[in-house]
Each structure stands twice: as C-alpha cells, then as structure tokens.
Amino acid sequence: MKVYTDGSAVPNPGPGGAGAVFVDDDEDFIKEIVYAGGEDTTNNRMEIQAVIMAFDSLPLDESVTIYTDSQYVKKGITEWITNWVKRGWLTASGARVKNMSLWKELLACTKKYPNVTVEWVKGHNGNRWNERADELASLGTDYSTQGLTGIQDVTQPDTVDNETSELLKECDQFINCLADLKKRVLAKNADTDRKRANVEKNLEKLQIYMAYLREASVDIEDS
C-alpha cells in the first residue's frame, strides 16, 4: 500500500488542513481522509499531522510507503530527529524544537509501525495522488474555516470506475509530458517566457480537467 499526504494553512499561520490518499501498490484508489486542523495552525504542523493521520489509519503488520512533499517532514523524521532526542529536544543552536509535540507523536508512530517508511515526492509535479492530497488539504482548511475539527473520511463508494480510472491515467501521462516539455523549453533561450507561460497554462488546464473527471465520476455513481 501507498499513502500520499499533504498539509496546508492559508494564510500561514491560519486555518489549516491535511489530506491523505490511500492507494494499492498498483496506484489504484482505496480511500481518502481529511483533517481539519483548526483556525490557528501552520503549514508545517499540517504537513506533520498529515503523516501522523496516515500512520494512525494503517494496519500494524502491513508494509506501507507514506509519501510527503515536505522536505521538513522527510528530513525531520529520517535525519534530524535522532539528534533532537539526544539533545533533549533542542536544535543544534540550543533552541527548543518547533512543533515538538507533533514530532514526538510521529516518532512514536514510526516505532509502532516498523514496516512503514516515509519518502519524499516532489509536489505539484504531475503526480496524480500528490495532487489529490493537496486538494484534500485545501478541503480540510475549508472545514477549519467552517469551525470543524478532526478527521473526516471523505471516501466516496466506487469513486472512480475502471473507464474513468483509465482516462485519469491518460491525463497523468499528458501532464508528465508537459512537465518534461517545460524543462526542455526552459533550457532554450528563444521566447522562453512566452513558451513557459503557454506550457504552464496548458498544464493547469489538464490538472483542472483531471479533477473534473474525478468529480464527474462521483456524480455519476450518486445519480
């Protein structure tokens, strides 16, 4: 199993939310959850909370990879935290570690779930489920502005049928092609700004279309 997570606060600090999408090893959808983090939080806190939320929703004995697009979370749990603990939760400069309570909770999760690893994925780079986790984090932020808190399971039954799933995969391929094209355009000197603007505009259109397909599939199932 794989879990894609994301967190956000808008503004930062401000209302925040976290999202997690659960997929199988073939990247097929399983479920998704949202966390409403309240009206006064930070982006970093929600990024950590998203991973904690993912851990807490997993079976104990399953091998799982949790993906985060936050280098703060990835490096924090895999590199920095050992020295933080040794120093009594102090940084190298002697300051208290920020978000210490959440880091302690996340550390406990890694010990409770030894078969789970946390990896980094580049955000906003055409990864279908990373983009969906971002949408869920925004949804959690919306919930927070409405006064809601806590975890919400927002999974829709049969959210994506087989035909729609294939269409979404094709959209992912188009987006990856555009991302590659963007890199090649930026490597050239002629008309770089104009071409970059066109590529980014088309990439945004495809991302919107992919999200539309997902929502349309839910509407069809519910009709």
- The residues annotated with a catalytic role in the active site are 6-7, 47, 69, 124, 134
Tokens 């073939």 found at: 26
How far is the CA of 5 from the CAs of 36, 85, 105, 212, in angstroms? Answer: 14, 25, 16, 21
Q: Residue 54 corresponds to which amino acid?
A: A
> Are 31 and 132 a contacting pair, CB within 8 Å?
no
- Give 36's Cβ-side CA count (13 Å radius): 15
Please give the single-letter amino acid code of residue 205.
K
Question: Encoding tokens for residue 208?
Answer: 């919107």
Q: Closest Cα to residue 70, out of 88, 89, 48, 90?
A: 48
Q: At 21, is the secondary structure helix, strand, or coil?
A: strand
Report the phi/psi class of residue 33: left, alpha or beta, with left for phi > 0 and alpha for psi in -120 to 50: beta
